[in-house]
Amino acid sequence: MRMVSYLFSPAGRSTPSPRPRLVTLLASNSISFVIDYRSDCCVFKTPTVYQTMRLHLAMLASTLSTVLRVSSSFAPKSSTSSLLQRSITSTSLQMASDSDTVTVGIFGGGTVGGGIVEILSKKKDYFKQLSGKTIEVRKICVRDASKERDFEVPSGCDIVTSYDDILNDESIDMAVEVMGGTTDAKDVVLGALKKGKSVVTANKALIAKDLGEIESLCASVDDSTQFRYEAAVCGGIPIIRSMQSDFVGDNIKLMSGIINGCTNFMLTSMDRDGKSYDEALSQASELGYAEADPTLDVGGFDARSKLKILMRLAYGMDVDEDDISCRGITELTKIDFEYAKTLGGTIKLLGVAQMNDDGEVSAFVSPCYVGNDDPLSSVNGATNAIEILSDNLVESIYIGQGAGRYPTANSCINDIVALAKGDTTPLPFNPSADVKFVNNYESVFFLRLNYRDQVGITRQVGEICEKHGVSIHSILQNPMTKSQDSAFAIVTEKVEYAAILKVLADIEALNWCKGKPFYMPVLREDWQ
């Protein structure tokens, strides 16, 4: 059952109140309704109307007829039939009357935009069967209109360069933002929502940065103006939809995910193929896995944006991105992979969020040691995966393509078709909750220390660990080849992250310690 809002214009307040008449009419026709006097809005329940229509009170005489006319479920009784002869004059009503077409304006005609256009063309007839609507791309906004496109521009579709060509076009119902960035993209996304156009976007950076503002705006527009962003986290994996609908009776304890395809590709190359960091990065860039600015990938920032969005869905919290500890893969060396192998596992860049027994949530993006018996250890190449531990479902794993033209476009298409079908998600980010974020968590840690050989190193490390309450589980040392530049590794028992930071600071100050010690959490307590 769909809710449709009718707003009374302020001018209507000075005219004899139409509400009693409207209420009587609706009730006598068995139409469900709610009148919200604060917003001067009347909400009807109707199963078939697609567009929300704003009717000015000046038109109320015809409003009463129109209300009855827009849906077959509102079949009027004979006493009202004369009202039905009146014409419908508002623009929005005209759009509703042309309800067998949904018109789309796309911002961005690149990798993802091109994929969306191709799939919409290829499956046009199927989408019509599925949604009852022809989905028509009317305009594509790009930076350079003269650039040759690697997809066929549909007939009747204009390539434009001004955002207003789409935003101000009242015949366009839906805006798809796949141009990227956080400044112009924000204007476009917010602008479209304000104009009553539903928005589909793949832009995780924008959502992570302006989630609060987007959320407030979504709450203020009517139900038919929807915001969808399935492609924004893990490209082709339907994780947003699942987080919105599959955990409503569950409690998520832990989310850990390989949520950046570029770094997973690089780590796989470094571990499995013995490639150096630079070789792995240049190969990832050649294959199109890296962002235009690879710092976003290798620094962990892209993963952090996605983690923030997932945390909003899992825990109802809007944590500041900068509060999430973020370490990329730039400090990793070959020796870390050797020690990980010795321990029976590998290294993955993970975004992890977990709720402790006190209901507080911590999160980080970091390289992590992952044992070979963990499902994430075998997720290789540019593939993404998210593992969710929860009370009811216990363990759920989502694996798939996190990027690329068709996987990402596929998620956008799912959103577009869902909107064409009239699906509504009144809370695109799930209900918010007052959950405390703590920048601390407990874990087993792997530490790698580079050193110049001298007497007493192990004793000093032991003393520092003891001072900060860190218990050592094991010490690993490959045969030393260079006495002035070697490395050994320590695996701790389960300890607080805050204690590890203190241990590392003390060790770094010692004269034998070469460079910054490296650390990473061990994904599971039962890692051995």
Ligand X SMILES: NC(=O)c1ccc[n+]([C@@H]2O[C@H](COP(=O)([O-])OP(=O)(O)OC[C@H]3O[C@@H](n4cnc5c(N)ncnc54)[C@H](OP(=O)(O)O)[C@@H]3O)[C@@H](O)[C@H]2O)c1
Binding site for ligand X (CB under 6 A): 108-113, 141-144, 147, 178-180, 184, 202-203, 231, 235, 403-404, 408
Q: CB of 176: closest distance to ligand X in angstroms?
A: 10
Min dist CB 348 to ligand X, Å, is 19
Residue closer to ligand X by CB (options 111, 377) is 111
CB of residue 273 to ligand X, shortest distance in Å? 23
Any idea what DSSP says for residue 93? H
- Report, in Å, the least distance between residue 114 CB and ligand X: 8
What's CA 92's distance to the chain center, in Å? 31
Q: Which is nearer to ligand X, 328 or 407 (CB)?
A: 407
Cα-based torsion angle of the residue sequence 419, 421, 422, 428 in order, rounded to the nearest 10 degrees = -40
Residue nearest to ligand X (CB): 110
173/196 Cα distance (integer angstroms) = 8
Nearer to ligand X, 77 or 147 (CB): 147
Q: Is the dihedral of CA 69, 74, 79, 80 positive or negative?
A: negative
Beta bridge partners of 106: 140, 176
Please state the length of the chain: 528
Query: Number of C-alpha atoms within 13 angstroms, CB side, residue 97?
Result: 11
Minimal distance, residue 302 CB to ligand X, in Å: 8
What sections of 321-399 are H helices per DSSP? 334-343
Of 275 and 405, nearer to ligand X (C-beta) is 405
CA–CA gap between residue 265 and residue 271 (Å, rounded): 10
In the bound complex, what is the minimum distance in angstroms from residue 410's beta carbon to ligand X? 11
**Direct distance between the N- and C-terminal alpha carbons of the chain, in angstroms, rounded to an integer:** 52
Cβ proximity to ligand X: between 231 and 418 the closer is 231
Distance (Å) of CA 436 to CA 233, 317, 354? 23, 8, 12
| Angstrom distance (rounded) from CA 95 to CA 171 | 7
Q: Which of 275, 306, 308, 348 is catalytic?
A: 306
Task: Provide, for the chain, the percentages of residues in helix, strand and coil under a 3-state DSSP scheme, each rounded to the nearest 5.
Answer: 40, 25, 40
Coil, strand or helix at 476:
strand
* Nearest to ligand X of 30, 146 (CB atom): 146
| 197 carries an active-site annotation | no
Active site residues: 306
